[in-house]
Structure formats: C-alpha cells, structure tokens
Amino acid sequence: MRSTETELMLKGYGLTTAEFYYRMPDHKHVLNSYIWQDYDLAPDYPVLFKFIEFWQKSIEGPLHSVRFTHRKLISPGEWRNVVGEFQLH
C-alpha cells in the first residue's frame, strides 16, 4: 500500500518533474517529449531511475535526453501539530 502524498512529504519526499526527449521509433530524426511527475527522494531519485529503466526496457522510442527538477513542498520541520485554538470576538 502506497503512502499518501502528505505522508511522503513528511518523510522527505519531494515532487520530481522530468521531461523526457525521445526519438520516434519510425522516424529517428524526429524528437518528441514526454512529461513525468512523481514523488521522489533527492539526491538518489530511485523512483525516477526506476522509470528510466522501465522506459529503456519497455518503450521502443530510444531516449535522447532527460531534464528534471525536484522541489520539496514541505519538510518535517515545517509541520507542527496545533492542539488548541483561541477565538477573539
């Protein structure tokens, strides 16, 4: 069972976005692009590299290049549990 997005972010995962440039199988001189996004751990990026391995094994279009960016949306130090609330009239 996969964790929720919030649980992943609290464990240090960040949103990784990658743009894959690949050659069309029938027209090797034509480049096409594919955008991929998932939660991953920097600096090793195991989810991204697993997807790249899947691409190389299963998809006919050979990869030309990959550009990616990684952004932590929240970290454990930025989250705090609030146990009370004050209301001012």
Q: Which domain holds residue 64?
A: 5-75
The pLDDT of residue 75: 58
pLDDT in tens, 14-61: 999 999 999 998 998 999 999 999 999 999 999 999 999 999 999 999
84 within some domain: no
**Mean pLDDT across the stretch 55-72?**
94
Structure tokens at 19: 């743009």
In a domain, residue 83? The reply is: no
Given pLDDT bands bounded at 50, 70 and 90, which one contains residue 88? confident
Cα separation of 51 and 72, whole Å?
Answer: 20
Q: Does some domain include residue 34?
A: yes
pLDDT at 80: 66
Residue 40 lies in a domain: yes
Residue 86 inside a domain? The answer is: no
Domain membership of residue 80 (yes or no) is no
Q: Residue 27 domain-assigned? A: yes
- Whole-number Å distance between alpha carbons of 28 and 72: 36
Q: How many domains does the chain have?
A: 1
Token duo for residue 76: 């454990």
Domain-embedded: residue 39: yes
